[in-house]
């Protein structure tokens, strides 16, 4: 049975929207595909360092990572807050590499350290009880947790003032949290994980690229910003890899 977010029994269900076809439309066309390619490349580079890991993708019904991961032969379990979150994963499940499970993102239905690598993209920023989400991600991860988030140490710092413009442009934009890396890292530290790598995707706000609708121009502009070191200093969203402190000390 499919529930609306208001009817769903779980406390956090932001992934119901990010798993929808409506949300996927934000990444349609050449510009959207280009943005997803950057996210995919960085994430695959991080994951492949762990050999052939078992992977849990929390809130990954958007299929932005499940598709390329399964294509590479990884065994991926995707957890969503509702049966509807598995809609975009149909073909992957039929192929045998992907398993979809309905569950509570704040009480993951898995034993401690059950997966080698745990991913969580497009969810942390929309999750009001995000420290509880982080705790669960760390609990079920053996080797690493990889997350993405928008950072306040970037041009996104002006995003709240431009929220009305962004909503008018993207139609389905929702409120979100901008994270200071030190604050997010501190919560991971409380759960025994340390940040081992961060990669920043864009210097210019993603909504600007969507407004321009010029993939080549966006790619050129971001290339210049990256070459100048602007992306490294002030880029967003961040893709962060967290590893257990104990594994780093051995």
Tell me the C-alpha to C-alpha distance, in Å, between residue 113 and each of 56, 118, 159, 184.
11, 10, 37, 21
Q: How many CB atoms lie within 10 A of CB 233?
A: 12
pLDDT digits (tens, 9 = 90+) for 181-208: 999 999 999 999 999 999 999 999 898 8
Compute φ and ψ for 221, nearest 5 degrees.
-60, -40
The structure tokens 């299929």 sit at 63
Output the pLDDT for position 146.
98
Output the pLDDT for position 90.
87
Tell me the average pLDDT across 22-31: 94
Q: Identify whether the C-beta of residue 75 lies closer than 8 Å to the C-beta of residue 55.
A: yes
Whether the pLDDT of residue 1 is over 70: the answer is no
Top pLDDT among 153 and 45 is at: 45
Whether the pLDDT of residue 115 is over 50: the answer is yes
Q: What is the mean pLDDT of the chain?
A: 89
pLDDT digits (tens, 9 = 90+) for 141-166: 999 999 999 998 766 655 554 445 54
pLDDT digits (tens, 9 = 90+) for 222-238: 999 999 999 999 999 99
Tell me the average pLDDT across 51-74: 96
Output the pLDDT for position 207.
87
Output the pLDDT for position 117.
98
Q: What percent of the chain has pLDDT over 70?
A: 87
Tell me the average pLDDT across 161-175: 51
Whether the pLDDT of residue 212 is over 50: the answer is yes
Q: Of the ranges 4-18, 112-126, 144-158, which is most confident? A: 112-126
Top pLDDT among 6 and 22 is at: 22
Q: Please count the CA atoms within 13 angstroms of the CA of 205 that sit on its side-chain side.
A: 18
DSSP state of 104: B
Q: Identify whether the C-beta of residue 108 lies closer than 8 Å to the C-beta of residue 136.
A: yes
CA nearest neighbour of 127 among 96, 150, 109: 150
Top pLDDT among 24 and 167 is at: 24
Residue 25 pLDDT grade (very low, low, confident, very high; cuts 50, 70, 90): very high
Question: In degrees to the nearest 10, what's the CA dihedral of 49, 37, 105, 109?
Answer: -50
Cα distance between residue 218 and residue 210, in whole Å: 9
Domains of the chain as residue ranges with CATH? 15-151+180-201+236-244 (3.40.50.150)
Q: Is the pTM of this model over 0.85?
A: yes
CA nearest neighbour of 119 among 191, 194, 57, 196: 57
CA nearest neighbour of 36 among 23, 53, 48: 23
CA 48, 83, 29: angle at the middle one, nearest 5? 60
């Amino acid at each position: 049975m499919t529930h609306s977010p208001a009817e769903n029994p779980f406390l956090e269900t932001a992934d119901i929207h990010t798993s929808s076809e409506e949300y996927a439309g934000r990444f349609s066309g050449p510009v959207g595909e280009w943005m997803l390619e950057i996210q995919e490349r960085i994430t695959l580079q991080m994951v492949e360092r762990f050999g052939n890991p078992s992977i849990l993708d929390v809130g990954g019904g958007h299929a932005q990572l499940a598709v390329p991961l399964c294509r590479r032969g990884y065994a991926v379990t995707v957890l969503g807050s509702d049966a509807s979150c598995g809609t975009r994963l149909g073909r992957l499940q039929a192929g045998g590499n992907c398993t979809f499970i309905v569950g509570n993102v704040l009480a993951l239905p898995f034993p401690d350290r059950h997966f080698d690598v745990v991913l969580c993209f497009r969810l942390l920023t929309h999750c009001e009880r995000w420290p509880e989400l982080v705790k669960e991600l760390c609990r079920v991860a053996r080797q690493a947790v990889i997350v993405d988030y928008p950072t306040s140490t970037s041009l996104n710092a002006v995003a709240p003032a431009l929220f009305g413009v962004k909503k008018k442009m993207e139609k389905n934009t929702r409120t979100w949290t901008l994270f200071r890396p030190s604050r997010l890292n501190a919560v991971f530290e409380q759960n025994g994980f340390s940040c081992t790598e961060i990669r920043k995707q864009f210097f210019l706000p993603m909504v600007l690229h969507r407004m321009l609708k010029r993939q080549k121009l966006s790619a050129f502009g971001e290339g210049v910003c990256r070459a100048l070191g602007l992306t490294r200093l002030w880029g967003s969203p961040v893709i962060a890899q967290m590893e257990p402190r104990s594994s780093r000390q051995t």
